[in-house]
Structure 1
């Protein structure tokens, strides 16, 4: 299958070339080649076990590919130190895995790993951006599911990533909280002109968020193109 391009005229931010991963005899991801442009949201959909999350985890080397590679701004991702790669390609999981302690301590974690102290003004800007002004001193154990997911997003944004990976970020939330996270994702991607790849089982959500969608089945990319055409929703 040829490499599928992103937005016409836009710079390619992330590209996979024949990306594959096996675990023993099991094929998790098989020969996936795709390009994603700066400022684009690409939805990854498919049935359970299709390889969606496995594909996402390969993009910032949480898992290692068996073959193929990923290019970040035309640079092979193996030439980038893993810690730097995960700052540049941030990931928000299905469940917000927050460290015990305060909201502020969670958000400051990434920069602190690189020797940077997050200024109070920047911390408050991040909290305001995710709709949690004044939450810095709150203990994470007192957060709702939607609030915890917003903190997880703020923690990722504190690293100023170029690419945002989202693995079913709203599946554990009620409808109102999920829609709030969707609006936040759209706003942040637009403001920062970030590249975003979101795994979702919800085709209506894919249509709301992404102009393009790719469908995976049994680890393979079986369709990619405008979301309304590929998923027959809109």
Structure 2
């Protein structure tokens, strides 16, 4: 079933930071279910765009609608996983309980199932901040998925992680997408994008310069900046 937050429409989005336009007139429509990967060089504005989608940053100009609604009206239907895990000074299980108090009260076993899905059930009573980086990120994803979000945003969520954790997180993301959640992730990893993406959005210098099906992007991109990026060239 397609996500209730589709289509996603971004119209003439501008964001100014330090007197510089870091997003300069972004126009983007995402209509298809599945996994959209946002790619582009460092400093292109990818993460800022994702934060605008989640309502964490208010743009200076422009409009975003999710399923024809404002972001503020559908915040509870979204979840986001950041590059650096944000965890409470509590146990692994308590981090889930705090994020989903109703589930903790009515169906606590569901929390353990969530930990089992990310191979952390045996760490339930350990301090969350004592986990390895990969384990912390798996916990962050488990927490994000508890609400069964209609839109899941991931910002370089597997950067610098061990291969086993990357494999597990990618598997969970695919499974969540198959259940109808729209997934948008920022990734610099071309291999990961090839494995996961149905669609690629390429951002350069604060603008969307290409949006295309993943197979077309990787085999027949016509955008000079995207072709240079795929060839490993440094874009300034």
Q: TM-score, normalised by structure 1?
A: 0.84
Q: Which runs of 5+ in 2 are unaligned?
A: 220-229, 231-236
Note if contact 2:87-2:129 (Cα within 8 Å) is conserved in structure 1.
Answer: no
Aligned equivalents of 2:41, 2:90: Cα separation in 1: 36
Q: Which runs of 5+ in 1 are unaligned?
A: 1-6
Alpha-carbon distance change, 12 to 204 in structure 1, aligned in 2, over 3 angstroms: same
Alpha-carbon distance change, 118 to 142 in structure 1, aligned in 2, over 3 angstroms: farther
Note if contact 2:155-2:187 (Cα within 8 Å) is conserved in structure 1.
Answer: yes
**Partner residue of 1:98 out of 72, 83, 87:** 87
Q: TM-score, normalised by structure 2?
A: 0.83
1:205 corresponds to 2:192: yes
Pick which of 144-153 and 26-35 moved more.
Answer: 26-35
RMSD: 2.4
**Partner residue of 2:118 out of 113, 117, 130:** 130
Q: Structure 1 stretches (4+) deviating beyond 3 angstroms? A: 114-118
1:159 corresponds to 2:153: no
Q: How many residues align?
A: 218
Cα deviation for residue 166 of structure 1 reads 0.3
Cα deviation for residue 13 of structure 1 reads 4.1
Alpha-carbon distance change, 118 to 144 in structure 1, aligned in 2, over 3 angstroms: farther
**Cα shift readout 1:21-45 (whole Å, capped 9, x = no counterpart):** 1124211112222233464210000
The residue number in structure 2 matching 1:25 is 19
The residue number in structure 1 matching 2:223 is none
Note if contact 2:5-2:66 (Cα within 8 Å) is conserved in structure 1.
Answer: no
